[in-house]
């Protein structure tokens, strides 16, 4: 299955972000991708965290959801919409939701980010829980490729990457990690965590990132990549907007799991 990991440097204009996402999704489709993954906050990186609340959508209704549905149907591929803010019953908090659309334009899966990022080194301070509500449910969906192979796809978002127990629960063939890692934490931990999740779960990892300096002054690490079940980096883009593609081979997945059956050897 050919996949595309999309990197963006999203700004404060929803329309501009969607226009850029469409350009990159078309590049992915033209490259033959059957599954394309956008980064966290692909549609909006506001001036303030509270700005997310102004764009929060209800399920099945909203400009961003319509955009994702239309793109999946028109481009005839699976699209995972990084994340977008979704309304909750608390107007002061939104869910950071990752939605997967099938080639018919139907929303096939929704995952709400479970682990909310908090970081303070005296110079940079982030606290997602101030405006976001944590999800509770590990989420997978099934994706059938052009050759008829069914893949079990596990969803996660950014800070989830630090919690290996989530990925064990997903028990997936492909792990998705749309992200907006800060430059500071990404430089230190991004690649080593991604490769560890691939190795310990013997799964492909598609990690689509924000990568650059944003209008709101935030700097994200980027380094969008696709990783194979042995931990090898198959494709990489360090900074700036772009698309990286890779061919996922189910036989490689099967071979790694047969030659080193660590998943069968678990005792805890």
Residues forming the active site: 40, 113, 158
Measured CA to CA, the distance from residue 244 to residue 11 in angstroms comes to 21
For residue 249, the SS3 value is: coil
Strand partners, 225: 207, 236
Helix (H) and strand (E) counts for the chain?
A: 6, 16
Residues 184/166, Cβ–Cβ less than 8 Å: no
Residues 200/170, Cβ–Cβ less than 8 Å: no
Structure tokens at 262: 């660590």
Please count the CA atoms within 13 angstroms of the CA of 65 that sit on its side-chain side.
Answer: 19
170: left (phi over 0), alpha (psi -120 to 50) or beta: alpha
Q: Evaluate the CA torsion angle 185, 253, 168, 115 in order and state its sign.
A: positive
What does the CA dihedral 110, 112, 181, 52 come to, rounded to 10 degrees? 100
């Amino acid at each position: 299955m050919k996949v595309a990991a999309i990197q963006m440097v999203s700004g404060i204009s929803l329309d501009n972000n969607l226009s850029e996402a469409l350009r990159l999704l078309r590049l992915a489709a033209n490259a033959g991708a059957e599954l394309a993954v956008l980064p966290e906050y692909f549609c909006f990186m506001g001036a303030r965290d509270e700005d997310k609340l102004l764009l929060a959508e209800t399920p099945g209704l909203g400009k961003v959801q319509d955009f994702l549905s239309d793109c999946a149907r028109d481009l005839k591929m699976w699209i995972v919409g990084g994340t977008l803010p979704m309304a909750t019953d608390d107007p002061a908090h939104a869910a950071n939701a990752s939605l997967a659309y099938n080639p018919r334009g139907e929303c096939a899966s929704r995952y709400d980010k479970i682990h909310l990022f908090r970081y303070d080194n005296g110079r940079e301070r982030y606290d997602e829980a101030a405006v976001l509500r944590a999800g509770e449910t590990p989420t997978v969906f099934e994706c059938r490729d052009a050759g008829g192979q069914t893949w079990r796809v596990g969803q996660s978002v950014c800070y989830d990457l630090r919690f290996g127990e989530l990925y064990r629960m997903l028990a997936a063939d492909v792990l998705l990690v749309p992200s907006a890692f800060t430059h500071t934490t990404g430089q230190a931990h991004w690649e080593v965590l991604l490769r560890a999740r691939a190795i310990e779960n013997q799964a492909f990892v598609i990690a689509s990132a924000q990568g650059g300096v944003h209008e709101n002054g935030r700097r994200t690490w980027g380094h969008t990549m696709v990783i194979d079940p042995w931990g090898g980096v198959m494709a990489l883009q360090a900074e700036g907007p772009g698309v990286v593609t890779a061919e996922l081979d189910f036989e490689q997945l099967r071979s790694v799991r047969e030659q080193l059956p660590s998943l069968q050897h678990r005792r805890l």
